[in-house]
């Protein structure tokens, strides 16, 4: 893989995945061009006014020059405001596009890909990491545009006005990029190390909170706290290292630029004393000289602000590339069709280095197929494979389509994890629907044996406020809400938290739904589920290499 440092000042992948940055580049270039023209014109008018005042011209004759300079100064201020607004909006849109692409990629890759990564680390990347990219799009890239446009135009103007000063600028300017490259390599290294430490800290904290009960039970919580404290101290050290590098690099760039401008000023002063240069040209060049170095100095300053966001992009690009590869391999396309028959032939789910025994099953319209087997035999893994969320061998088709996204589009399902979010019961049932239908919500709750639940009841995070059985029925209602004649229904242990009477009522509803033409795949260890099943598929617990 190509390292970030070898991709140059602009990572093309950022512009590829964040298309909003392209239009932002064009607008930023136009504003920068206008700013450059204003800078040169302002320097020329101010120089003429100063030389006129020194030569004793009347105030009346200088007023047009001063008025023009004042107008240009106001114009430059307005252009700076326009540049800030454009940068902020462009950065927000670009970051939003990247976040949307990342979420879409994770949805495409599915739980199988996510399970191989630490979710806390991924959350830090998607949250804090992408927020840090605002500085890249909003500060670093605009200064890079200014360096490409302003620096050459101002240098050319200086050269045309005084070729000696122009030569000095041309000779000294490359020194700054050379130092920037050296400093940039060091900065990216320490910034990457800092961000990795932050992700480690987030992962350790999440793991500790998740297993706090077990840690306290075995008296290991103090050791876990000490580990978090150690990582926190490491993060503090990395942060201070980043700040030291930033201060040192900023000083180096300012020192080089100041020496270069001082060299031009000394040369102009000596030539003015010798009479080789007019005061008008000397002052004009002296006013423009700092503007030639300013953009490239600011690039170095803003690079440090943007480096943390850039350090976070590697994991983002890994996800986006993997999702694109999956889409190309599968030829994924969202579809709707009228015969969502589920067919699996030789379906063998892969679990790391192990592969579960192959399973053959078929669920046609009007059929209810029950999958049973001992705990840990892979019943839920079969569901994950059908949904395209688990790696597997063999062939799986829904309605004749093999693409994972196409299979998911033709299935309404509820898993063992309820997946409830903060909000009302109705919002959880209609989750993802931009225009929820209250009648469909009520009907889905009725079919899930949860009609006693008020749709307006507020639910907390992860379904807090509801009992286990109520949360499970809301999850089932969500599947019923999405069920239509073009979809099959898959339920994974839907009655594990239900009492016997509620379970029996749910079984009757599922049998009625199947009789209406809906293919239903049911995962359940309850023997009572056999009474409503057309066929039973047995899953064994052994694994193969």
Please tell me which residue, 24 or 156, carries the higher pLDDT value. 156
**pLDDT confidence of residue 306:** 63
Give per-residue pLDDT as tens, 480-531.
999 988 889 999 989 888 889 999 999 999 999 999 889 999 999 888 999 9
Highest mean pLDDT range out of 89-103, 297-311, 387-401?
387-401
Q: How confident is the model at residue 444 (pLDDT cuts 50, 70, 90)?
A: very high
**pLDDT confidence of residue 21:** 67
- Say whether pLDDT at 242 is over 60: yes
518, 365 Cβ separation under 8 angstroms: yes
Give per-residue pLDDT as tens, 3-36.
444 455 566 776 677 776 677 778 888 898 999 9
Q: How confident is the model at residue 210 (pLDDT cuts 50, 70, 90)?
A: low
**pLDDT confidence of residue 90:** 78
Percentage of residues in the chain with pLDDT exceeding 70?
Answer: 77
108, 405 Cβ separation under 8 angstroms: yes
Please tell me which residue, 124 or 150, carries the higher pLDDT value. 150
SS3 543: coil
Burial track 147-181 (b if 16+ CB lie within 10 A, e otherwise)? bbbbbebbbebbbebbeebbebbeebbeebeebbe
> Mean of the per-residue pLDDT values for the chain?
80
CA within 13 Å, CB half, 93? 14
The residue whose two tokens read 């029950």 is 370
130, 100 Cβ separation under 8 angstroms: no
17, 101 Cβ separation under 8 angstroms: yes
Residue 461 is classified by DSSP as G
Residue ranges and CATH numbers for the domains of the chain are 4-326 (1.20.1560.10), 342-538 (3.40.50.300)
Work out the number of other CB atoms within 10 angstroms of the CB of residue 287. 17
Least confident of 35-44, 84-93, 193-202, 280-289: 193-202
Least confident of 81-85, 231-235, 448-452, 528-532: 231-235
Who contacts 175 (Cβ-Cβ below 8 Å, separation ≥6)? Answer: 256, 260
**pLDDT confidence of residue 187:** 63
The dihedral built from the CA positions of residue 456, 459, 465 and 468, taken in this order, carries a sign that is positive
Q: How confident is the model at residue 188 (pLDDT cuts 50, 70, 90)?
A: low
Give per-residue pLDDT as tens, 111-144.
666 666 666 666 666 676 677 777 777 777 788 8
Please report which helix (H) or strand (E) contains residue 132, including its range: helix 130-135
Tell me which long-range contacts 322-331 makes (C-beta under 8 A, separation of at least 24): 322/105, 322/109, 322/113, 323/104, 323/105, 323/106, 323/108, 323/109, 324/105, 326/108, 326/109, 326/404, 327/108, 327/405, 330/402, 330/403, 330/404, 330/405, 331/403
Percentage of residues in the chain with pLDDT exceeding 90?
Answer: 16
Tokens for 142, please give them. 């605009």
């Amino acid at each position: 893989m190509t390292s970030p440092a070898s991709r140059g000042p602009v990572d093309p992948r950022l512009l590829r995945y964040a298309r909003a940055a392209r239009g932002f580049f064009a607008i930023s270039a136009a504003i920068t061009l206008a700013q450059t023209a204003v800078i040169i014109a302002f320097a020329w008018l101010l120089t003429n006014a100063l030389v006129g005042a020194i030569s004793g011209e009347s105030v009346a004759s200088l007023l047009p020059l001063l008025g023009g300079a004042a107008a240009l100064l106001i114009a430059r201020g307005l252009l700076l405001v326009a540049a800030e607004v454009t940068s902020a909006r462009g950065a927000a849109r670009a970051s939003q596009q990247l976040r949307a692409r990342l979420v879409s990629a994770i949805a495409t890759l599915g739980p199988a890909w996510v399970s191989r990564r630490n979710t806390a680390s991924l959350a830090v990347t998607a949250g804090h990491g992408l927020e840090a990219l605002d500085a890249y799009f909003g500060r670093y890239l605009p200064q890079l545009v200014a360096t490409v446009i302003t620096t050459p135009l101002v240098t050319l103007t200086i050269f045309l006005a005084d070729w000696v000063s122009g030569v000095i600028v041309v000779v000294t300017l490359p020194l700054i990029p050379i130092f920037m490259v050296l400093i940039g390599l060091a900065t990216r290294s320490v910034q990457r190390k800092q961000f990795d430490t932050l992700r480690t800290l987030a992962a350790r904290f999440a793991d500790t909170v998740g297993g706090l009960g077990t840690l306290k039970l075995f008296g290991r919580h103090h050791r876990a706290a000490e580990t978090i404290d150690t990582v926190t101290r490491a993060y503090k050290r990395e942060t201070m290292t980043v700040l030291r590098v930033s201060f040192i690099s900023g000083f180096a760039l300012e020192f080089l630029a100041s020496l270069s401008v001082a060299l031009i000023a000394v040369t102009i002063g000596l030539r003015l004393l010798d009479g080789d240069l007019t005061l008008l040209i000397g002052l004009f060049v002296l006013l423009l000289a700092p503007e030639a170095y300013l953009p490239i100095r600011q690039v170095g300053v803003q690079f440090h602000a943007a480096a943390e966001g850039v350090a976070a992009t590697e994991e983002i690009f890994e996800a986006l590339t993997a999702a694109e590869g999956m889409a190309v391999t599968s030829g994924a396309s969202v579809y709707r069709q009228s015969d969502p028959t589920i067919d699996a032939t030789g379906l063998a789910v892969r679990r790391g280095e192990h592969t579960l025994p192959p399973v053959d099953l078929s669920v046609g319209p009007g059929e209810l197929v029950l999958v049973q087997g001992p705990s840990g035999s892979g019943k839920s893994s079969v569901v994950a494979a059908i949904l395209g969320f688990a790696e597997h061998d063999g062939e799986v088709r829904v309605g004749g389509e093999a693409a994972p996204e196409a299979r998911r589009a033709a299935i309404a399902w509820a898993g063992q994890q309820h997946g409830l979010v903060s909000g009302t019961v109705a919002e959880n049932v209609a989750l993802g629907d931009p225009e929820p239908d209250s009648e469909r919500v009520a009907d889905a709750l009725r079919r899930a044996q949860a009609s006693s639940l008020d749709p307006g009841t507020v639910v907390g995070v992860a379904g807090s406020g509801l009992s286990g059985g109520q949360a499970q029925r809301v999850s089932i209602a969500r599947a019923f809400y999405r069920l239509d004649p073009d979809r099959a229904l898959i339920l994974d242990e839907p009655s594990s938290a239900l009492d016997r009477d509620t379970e029996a009522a749910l079984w009757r509803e599922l049998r009625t739904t199947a009789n209406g033409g809906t293919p239903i795949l049911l995962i359940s260890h309850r023997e009572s589920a056999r009474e409503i099943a057309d066929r039973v598929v047995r899953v064994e617990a052994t694994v193969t290499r």
